[in-house]
Amino acid sequence: MENCYIKMENVDLFYPSHIYNATTLKQEVFSWLKLEKKKEKLDDVHALKDFTLEISQGEKLGIIGHNGAGKSTLLKTIAGIYPIKSGSRDIRGEIRSLFDLSLGFDLESTGRENIMYRGLLLGETPRKIKEMEQEIIEFAELGEFIDYPIRSYSSGMLVRLAFAISTSIPGEILLLDEVIAAGDASFHKKAKQRMAGLMNSAKILVLVSHDLSTIKDVCNRIIIIERGKIIKDGEPDEVIDFYKQLHLFENR
């Protein structure tokens, strides 16, 4: 079996301007009545610029940088959520993305039905989801509520179910935007162990986090992104030291 890898070469990605230029009816009326200045049109945002990155099997890559630097954009580009304008993106391996845990939930359906919906969205077969169903229910600690519509769930119950489903399906390439913790203190310990197992079993891990100690503990390679470009790539100690010095310089 061939090794997993991620290869991006000279990738350019833009956020289309219509996302930012959309106006509400209220804004249009106020502008027409001259009660509010009409919003200036913005250009497309160049989020990743001539971006080249290669990640090999066995690497656990940490991504750090300021807010808005392009970290989450990079994760979603790897996942294929954002289309690139130019360059190439080549992925070998099954990707598992843990971004929005509640994606695919139907509030009017039961917890059990949502296990099936979410599992299908994650690419599993109905048969495989049925095989995992009981383990998911037990991990989420929902008991008889699994057959209630999830609109009746507390926020904690919903988080537990979402976490149990999303982390029950492993992937060769694991993409994480911050290490996910879920639920109350008693559930948190289980969640932490589950996440550690997923990260250890992944053939490639790509982790975005602002927690430098977690990045250092988990990853064997770190990159710093600034304005859609990599400005440092290397061993965790070296890159984190560089990042801290960068902060000191910028805060003078």
Contact 188, 138 (CB under 8 A): no
- Record the pTM: 0.81
Alpha carbons 215 and 195: distance in angstroms, whole number: 14
Q: Taking a C-beta distance cutoff of 8 angstroms, is the pair 65, 239 a contact?
A: no
The rounded distance, in Å, linking the Cα atoms of 232 and 1 is 32
d(CA 78, CA 100): 16
Domain identity same for 223 and 170 = no
Same domain, 182 and 240: no
Strand order in the sheet with 45-56: 45-56, 5-15, 86-92
Q: Which of 150, 147, 148, 154 is nearest to 187 (CA)?
A: 154
Q: Provide the edge-to-edge strand list for the sheet that holds 221-226.
A: 95-98, 173-177, 204-208, 60-64, 221-226, 229-234
Same domain, 110 and 173: yes
* Structural domain that includes position 235: 5-93+208-250
Mean pLDDT (the chain) is 86
103 and 53 inside one domain: no
d(CA 119, CA 112): 11
What total number of domains does the chain contain? 2
Q: Are both 153 and 184 inside the same structural domain?
A: yes
Which pLDDT belongs to residue 112? Answer: 96
Are 139 and 221 within one domain? no
Domain of 232: which CATH number? 3.40.50.300
- In the numeric block, the tokens 């197992």 are attached to 197
pLDDT score recorded for residue 170: 81
Is the same domain home to 108 and 190?
Answer: yes
Q: Are residues 105 and 194 in the same domain?
A: yes
88 and 104 both lie in a single domain = no
Do residue 245 and residue 122 come from a single domain? no
For 96-151, the pLDDT digits (tens) are 888 877 777 899 999 999 999 988 888 889 999 999 999 999 999 999 999 999 99
- Angle among Cα 243, 249, 252 to the nearest 5 degrees reads 140
Cα 208 to Cα 188: distance, rounded to the nearest angstrom: 20
* 111 and 62 assigned to the same domain: no
DSSP H helical ranges for the chain = 18-21, 25-32, 71-78, 111-121, 126-140, 155-166, 185-201, 212-218, 236-250
pLDDT tens, residue by residue, 96-107: 888 877 777 899
pLDDT higher than 80, residue 22: no
Span 5-9, average pLDDT = 97
| 83 shares a domain with 136 | no
Q: What is the pLDDT of residues 207-247, one digit of tens each?
A: 999 999 999 999 999 999 999 999 999 999 999 999 999 87
